[in-house]
Amino acid sequence: MNTSNLDPIANLAGTSFARRTWPIAAVGFVGILSLLLQPVPAELIAKAPDLAALPPMAQRAVLLINPLILLIAAALVGAAVAHRVGLRSVLAGTAGAGNWPRELLAAAIVGLVLGVLIAGLDAAIAPQLGQAWQSLAANPPDSGTRVAIGLFYGGLTEEVILRWGLMSLSAFAIGFVLGKRFGAGAMVLAIGLAAAIFAAAHLPALAAQIDLTTPIVMRTLLLNGVAGLLYGWLFYRRHLEAAMVAHAASHVGLAGWRLVAG
């Protein structure tokens, strides 16, 4: 392990709190805007008369408020603590010198392979998940919109919220509890916690489309949990942008599998 990555003074040199905040928030905001491509679920409109009275685009804009709040909070938290536990970002100016094109290309390849592997495993276990699941898998929501949201909201915004914000804060809190030891032990726990929350966060959207059974919940937690562990590891070993690129590329891999297999 490169111990220089854990030097908060070196990582902080030449950066201000604002410098570590606004580029991350701006990139995450691009991902939030991609949610405007997605229509508001009919079930939600039926439960919210005030929302139903708004024009369709205004309905979508209202639903951006909660993720926007989470994004801003995560950008601020990461700016405050990420560099203190050796977590880095090119955009925030805390990553130091490096061969960014080569590292990002490697992250893209890893993410692409991960997406294909997850899609293949998902297809293999689909017959064990019941007829309702197979029908959903055979007739997914608008695939183009889903890929775009996966690339931008997943690859950018989710990484800011779950890795830059949550994982950084978790590593800092765990390390503080361990006596200000912000090393590998605290980081492993933080990676696992962020991955678990990332996986669980996929359940509500899935529950809006299908009744959740134990096998479906286990499938969702396992596949997304593995992906979350990889993104967290890339953030730890490289930088936030490597995690972003890998996350976005995994959606390309998923889409490619469905295109070929479908």
- Determine the Cα–Cα distance for residues 69 and 169; give it in Å rounded to an integer: 17
In terms of phi and psi (left: phi > 0; alpha: psi -120 to 50; beta: otherwise), the region of 180 is left
- Give the mean model confidence (pLDDT) for residues 207-218: 90
Banded pLDDT at 14 (limits 50, 70, 90): low
- Give the mean model confidence (pLDDT) for residues 229-234: 98
Q: What is the pLDDT of residue 28?
A: 98
Q: What is the mean pLDDT of the chain?
A: 89
**Cα distances (angstroms) measured from residue 111 to each of 50, 59, 147, 155:** 41, 33, 14, 10
Cα four-point dihedral sign 245, 251, 252, 253 = positive
**Portion of the chain with pLDDT greater than 70, in percent:** 93
Banded pLDDT at 97 (limits 50, 70, 90): confident
Specify the number of domains making up the chain: 1
Banded pLDDT at 2 (limits 50, 70, 90): very low
Give the distance from CA 103 to its chain's centroid: 19
Residue 248 CB contacts under 8 Å (≥ 6 apart), including other chains: 108, 111, 150, 151, 152, 154, 155, 156
Q: Is 123 helix (H, G, I), strand (E, B) or coil?
A: helix
Residue 164 belongs to what domain range?
3-261
- Give the mean model confidence (pLDDT) for residues 61-68: 93
Q: What is the pLDDT of residue 233?
A: 98
Lowest mean pLDDT among 96-100, 101-105, 185-189, 235-239: 96-100
- Determine the Cα–Cα distance for residues 35 and 226; give it in Å rounded to an integer: 25
Give the distance from CA 58 to its chain's centroid: 25
149-197 pLDDT tens trace: 999 999 999 999 999 999 999 999 999 888 777 788 899 999 999 999 9
